[in-house]
Amino acid sequence: MTKDRYQCVTWKKVCIDQNVIVSYDEEVHPKTSMGTLPYLNVSEIMYNLPSKYGIGDRYRKGSALRFPALYVRPSNDLEEEEELQNPVFSSCTLPMLMYAHYPFNAAETWRYIFEKLVSLQQLGFFNRHVTLVPGVPPGTKVPSYTKFWYGSLTDKAVVSLSELSARKPKDTPSNATGEGRHVRCFERVIGCRIRYDRFGLKFYNAGQYVAKHYQPQYLALVPTFQQRLAAKGITLPTDPSVLKMVFISRNEHQSAVGRTILNEKELIDRCNTATGADVPPASWGVPYKSYFCMAHVFGEDQLMDVWLMRRVDAILGMHGAGLTNLMFMKPGGSAVEVRPFGFSGRESWANRYARFKASSPAEQPFPAFWFGIDTFNESLSEPGMFEKEDKPHFSKFRVIKARDRHVRITWPSFRTQLLNIALSARTNERYMSLRYGGAFYITDTLEQAEGPGQDPYVKKDLQRNFTSIQAEWDAAIRFPINLGNLDLAAKTDD
């Protein structure tokens, strides 16, 4: 990358006071020059109203809200704060203000900015000693997932501009500065507006970066994680002959909105007792002889989330940000994305997220495998809260209502995806055989969800219709399995 594609600016000799950047730079100050203060246009940055129910696009006027302008002004002789009257500029702390669209959606944050920041750091564009300041509307908290992910890029605490610029005593302790105390005046502050483009797109690489950074921390907590699972009657198998899958459950508020798997417990019970034709035959040459399924609410303890992803083979969940956890899995991990009635990838934006992250042109052969189940039978979906109540200020977009519907997954479609994952055995060639044949993405009645040429992320001339799932399985098992990936998956990180 040889040009500044993200409209970055550098402010020299500035203080930050209650979200206002105050410049003392003689090169651009009206008292000493004809220069122009650097300005970062963030007013085109969009966000959805954050809510305990999730992203705010469910409200007609809660979607695509605009950031207020970032106020930058020259210092003057009427500064209210003593610190700004006699500023001392820090050379030990370098804040980097990073703005990008939709900061209150984890999937968007990963897609729009985080994976790019990882690529930029790996290329040497910034080091681990900067203070990262994610852009959020003034007075709003930085989401916990953003602090966690960005924390892998810096040895400082990740803070909002409101936190960094708050009027606090100078001796207030702070993990966000090189001085270890609250500092608001700096020799330099950098601001960037990160836009979505073709740079980076290394989504899986970003997940592995996070996992590697936090490995010492989550390994130290393994006994605690195991105790939490045991309290729920769960013991995570270590036997590599057991294919392990985690259902992405939703918390109380999320479940109230929608996107729950109504027969989750039934599927988990059946998964854990599957035998006979429901488990992989010996002729497939895969290590799996049985399944283990469990449910987990992601986001409550992100260290545990990463540890769990390193221990399992697959996750399954409704369309949503929880599927981003696939990026933490070891090579060849799989995700099954379930889409409600009326929210097929063919008629919505659904394919831009988990599917694209696992199918990036910058990461080939694909390091993680995406599978999908489309609900074509309307009776298998139930309306979510916003569709059911349908108040005047709720969104009227059909696909938003459809996205939030609850779903019952048919056993045949779930069983088929379990077998698809087992047959793939973390082996790209086997997975791609299923992908080109269309068997990777099915409906609740085991039909092909997409016809040839409709998969936007693989070669169109290799895509074909399948005559039967069994025929596609027979074609895929001709490829030898990747023993290296299987061995890596069988080993614990410690």
Residues 412-439, mean pLDDT to the nearest whole number: 99
What does the alpha-carbon distance between residue 369 and residue 439 come to, in Å, rounded to a whole number? 13
Domain that holds residue 469: 203-489
Whether pLDDT at 97 is above 80:
yes
DSSP state string for 29-54 = -TTT-S--------TT-EEPPPBTTB
Confidence class for position 55, pLDDT limits 50, 70, 90: confident
Residues 66-72, mean pLDDT to the nearest whole number: 96
Residues 300-311, mean pLDDT to the nearest whole number: 98
What does the alpha-carbon distance between residue 324 and residue 311 come to, in Å, rounded to a whole number? 16
- Distances, alpha carbon 179 to alpha carbons 127, 157, 170, in Å: 17, 12, 11
Residue 463 · residue 409 · CB < 8 Å: no
Percent of the chain with pLDDT over 70: 99
> How much is the pLDDT for 253?
80
Write down the mean pLDDT value for the chain: 95
Whether pLDDT at 425 is above 70:
yes
Instruction: List the one residue out of 198, 195, 169, 199 whose CA is nearest residue 183.
Output: 169
What does the alpha-carbon distance between residue 249 and residue 178 come to, in Å, rounded to a whole number? 40
By the 10 Å C-beta count (0-12 exposed, 13-18 middle, 19+ buried), 65 is classed as middle
Please report whether residue 2 resides in a domain.
Answer: no
More confidently predicted of 476 and 345? 476
Whether pLDDT at 89 is above 50:
yes
Whether pLDDT at 394 is above 90:
no
Pairing verdict, β 95-99 and 131-134: parallel
Q: Are residues 169 and 274 in the same domain?
A: no
> How much is the pLDDT for 4?
64
Residues 52-65, mean pLDDT to the nearest whole number: 87
Reading phi first (left if > 0) and then psi (alpha if -120 to 50, else beta), residue 195 is in beta
End-to-end alpha carbon distance in the chain: 36
Q: Are residues 132 and 220 in the same domain?
A: no
Confidence class for position 2, pLDDT limits 50, 70, 90: very low
Domain end point (choices 140, 169, 193): 193
Domain end point (choices 193, 227, 254): 193
Percent of the chain with pLDDT over 90: 88
Please report whether residue 371 resides in a domain.
Answer: yes
pTM score, whole prediction: 0.96
Each residue's pLDDT tens digit, 12-52: 999 999 999 999 999 999 999 999 999 999 999 999 999 88
Q: Are residues 129 and 223 in the same domain?
A: no
Each residue's pLDDT tens digit, 159-168: 999 999 999 9
Residues 348-373, mean pLDDT to the nearest whole number: 94
By the 10 Å C-beta count (0-12 exposed, 13-18 middle, 19+ buried), 241 is classed as exposed
Q: Are residues 293 and 435 in the same domain?
A: yes
Q: Are residues 166 and 293 in the same domain?
A: no
